[in-house]
Amino acid sequence: MTHDKKTIGIVGARGHTGTELIRLIAAHPALELSFVSSRELDGQRVDAHVPEYRGELRYSAPAHEDLPKLGADVVILALPNGKAAACVEAFDQAGVDPIILDLSADYRFDKRWYYGLPELARDQWRGERRISNPGCYATAMQLSIAPLKDLLAAPPVCFGVSGYSGAGTTPSDKNDPEKLRDNLMPYALTGHMHEKEASFQLGVPVEFMPHVAPHFRGLTVTSNLYLSRQLKREEVLQRFHAAYAGERLVTVLDDAPWVSRIAHQHHAEIGGFAMSTDGKRVVVVATLDNLLKGAATQAMQNINRAIGVDEYTAIPLLQDTSR
């Protein structure tokens, strides 16, 4: 049975997203984990850290140049920004061409790589084997803005708040529960990487102000959109329902979504749609779990498509999308 499966390896799997990916892969009928690299966990059993994984595999710490020798059909790069190129170069030098999915920002501006936000870029898929996974905030911003992009009268202004898992596992003020207690911590208030990413992908300037909150996972983005002509709220809702009809990982709500409801869920929720009295300004709220639809789940959507199975394979879907 395992001969029918594609082998998949993760480079840099110690982080929160790496753990979520292992959980998704463990439940996947067409994927088999072949290596999981982590310098800090080298030699330890994977199932000791991710109980959902049932297998004998241990974490390893291969050098970049040794990655092509491991023979994986699919390789996920779960490394900090700026670290992916050395791995990609190792595969190029060795003449080995697995499907490579990069979770960092390193290739999100590279037109040679497929930008994998399926709900907005599905029709641009050309069978690419190099996939850049979108950022968590950038996903929420683009999903909030895209259905009204043709009617924007000014740059969208987006206020974001994320749980501290978004700051990664390397200790800092932004993931220190003591410093975050009863606090909301602003950072990178201009020029954030996801501001640049959303602007680049949408083709319109986006202004973004991120904050970190004391909760662990889940983010919310409130987007203020000025419109070039008057719209009724029903027309705005209709645009969003039309844009995401049939999308099983985007739910359009009437009310504004809450972060507490999105933790551990694999979809994004978009709602609110508060209109100004003149009908030329709308405020849209989007939530998603930054580790799932903002990272691991979106990666699995892209990998599923790249290996030719149903896009939602092994992704737990919300049963009732009408709430």
Backbone angles phi, psi at 72, to 5 degrees: -70, 140
Which of helix, strand or coil describes residue 158? strand
C-alpha span between 71 and 140 (Å, rounded)? 35
The b-or-e profile of 157-194 (16+ CB within 10 A means b, else e) is ebbbbbbbbbbeeeeeebbeeeebeeeebeeeeeebbb
Query: In whole angstroms, what is the distance from residue 110 CA to residue 133 CA?
Result: 12
Report d(CA 120, CA 252) in Å as an integer: 15
Separation of CA 235 from chain center: 28
Cα angle value 308/313/317 (rounded, 5°): 145
Q: How far apart are CA 29 and CA 7, in angstroms?
A: 11
- Cα dihedral value 206, 209, 215, 218, nearest 10: 0
Question: Of 10, 136, 140, 219, which residue is the catalytic one?
Answer: 136
- What are φ and ψ of residue 99, in 5° steps? -70, 125
Closest-CA residue to 159 (of 139, 133, 137, 180):
137
* First-to-last C-alpha distance (Å) of the chain: 39
Active site residue 136: yes
Distances (CA, A) of 314 to 146, 209, 291, 304, 317: 27, 34, 16, 9, 9
Helices of type H across the chain: 16-26, 84-94, 118-121, 136-145, 177-180, 193-202, 233-243, 297-307
Catalytic residues: 136
